[in-house]
Structure 1
């Protein structure tokens, strides 16, 4: 083959490579929100470059499933020897908790007040109540509240066998997972009566034990004003407040929340829920 023919063939090959490179490069540019091309880090996998949109696309601006850093895998829940009693953190933060529900007579009123002030709380539910009111569990989860395990029948755990305690906990966890879409991450012993088995079994089921700092004693029906007064006197950074939305006539608890919640917010308190930190 002659020398000029070799040059001609090389020019053809280079021209073809340049054309392929141009097409490939077109796939490296995506459109930003300001309708200007933005240089991407690498070509996206999937469709050929020539099929990429030439205009801004809401779909293209959304994160793609499977990309980004991997999710953190929860570690094993530690076995504690006493329940957590208060919230740690900065600022004037408090946690509101409600036990023994859900009860269709009182829980909706509490949820309505929390929604009105855009506040999240914790509900420690009993399995036998939750099983009959899955709609309320779903509402709690949908509105951002934390649903915890409060056993199935609200027994005194210190008088039960290990197998009985496990049944009380696991059955309730199953109902919560069915109604909320995920298992509970928090557990509270009825009457605040903890024992070694409760801590161990709760940890095995992936739950942290949570007690309380201030008890409103609303279950004694002391009067709406008395409940409000106890909340105001007990309010402090890190406090976990105990009230009830079931287990008896809780109309005073519902009315009291309507009074003390806006007062807490006006006083600069941030009502929040605790977050699990896995190690």
Structure 2
């Protein structure tokens, strides 16, 4: 009797192992080629691992794997500023170009094309709700060396919001920037340039410096291409931060004006760059 029981138990174990092995082989074949019938594949013993096709530099940004990779780096605590940064070091006739409210597929690519033509890096203060629809544009900004800053999720007037609402607007945007651009933003700009104490404190808690501007192109009013050009060329000076927009309305004037005033500033000896963290 015991012999029969042992024989039966052994037969059940062997049958279970065979079933597991068959399921595993089928899974591998389906994952590799999508076939319905499992077929053994015999490779030469001396063959090495199959060569992998190189991925594009932005692939990991376009398709982030949630739950993988190192944990988010906690932001370094910053001094809580009472006023935003208005200018940078003007040594070497340096200026900073900034663009707000994007990214936008109708205008941002043209701006990036012009910046690439003249090998200029800029800052883009993006809105989270625009990022989720245009992740490939943030990946391009990262690939081309531009700095991406936080401009809230929905572009609200922060001075009318409660503290937890401001935190949500800023934190969600930093999260989507990190997932798409590859790192958390180090700069923040309040919509409409309207800061309050909570915005300064929360920005510092999230490791961001507040950045304002010194020259407004007034492109948000759509005043005409010539007016935008005049605003930049007349306001140009070492240390200046220029405000433009790549979304939030018809920005075709901004696109045309940039093609005119950017080479003019370069020919005039200005070096268009992005600021370092220490200011």
Q: TM-score range by the shorter chain?
A: 0.7 to 0.9
Does 2:60 match 1:98? no
Distance, in Å, in 1 between the alignment partners of 2:192 and 2:166 is 14
Distance, in Å, in 1 between the alignment partners of 2:91 and 2:238 is 8
Residue segments in structure 2 that go unaligned for 5+ positions in a row: 1-73
Distance, in Å, in 2 between the alignment partners of 1:134 and 1:175 is 9
Question: Aligned residue for 2:133?
Answer: 132
Contact 2:94 2:270 in 1 (8 A): yes
1:75, distance to aligned residue in structure 2 (A): 4.5
Does 2:237 match 1:255? no
Distance, in Å, in 1 between the alignment partners of 2:90 and 2:251 is 31
Pairwise mapping of residues 168-187 of structure 1 onto structure 2 (< 5 A)? 168-187=169-188
Contact 2:139 2:180 in 1 (8 A): yes
1:131, distance to aligned residue in structure 2 (A): 1.1
Which one has the largest radius of gyration? 1
1:115, distance to aligned residue in structure 2 (A): 0.2
Does 2:246 match 1:245? yes
Contact 2:151 2:188 in 1 (8 A): yes
Distance, in Å, in 2 between the alignment partners of 1:235 and 1:131 is 34
Regions of 4+ moved over 4 Å:
none
1:99, distance to aligned residue in structure 2 (A): 0.2
Question: Aligned residue for 1:148?
Answer: 149
Distance, in Å, in 2 between the alignment partners of 1:265 and 1:195 is 36
Residue segments in structure 1 that go unaligned for 5+ positions in a row: 1-72
**Equivalent residue of 1:94, what SS?**
strand
Q: Deviations over 1:88-145 (max 9, x none)?
A: 2412110000000000000000000000000000000000001111100000011000
Q: Please, what TM-score do these two structures have when normalized by structure 1?
A: 0.72
Question: Aligned residue for 2:231?
Answer: 230
Question: Aligned residue for 2:163?
Answer: 162
Contact 2:93 2:269 in 1 (8 A): yes
Question: Aligned residue for 2:50?
Answer: none
Give the superposed CA RMSD.
1.3
How many residue pairs match? The answer is 206
Contact 2:75 2:205 in 1 (8 A): no
Question: Aligned residue for 1:196?
Answer: 197
**Equivalent residue of 2:204, what SS?**
helix
Q: Please, what TM-score do these two structures have when normalized by structure 2?
A: 0.72
Q: Deviations over 1:220-241 (max 9, x none)?
A: 1111011001100000000000
**Equivalent residue of 1:253, what SS?**
helix
Pairwise mapping of residues 63-142 of structure 1 onto structure 2 (< 5 A)? 75-142=76-143
1:277, distance to aligned residue in structure 2 (A): 2.6
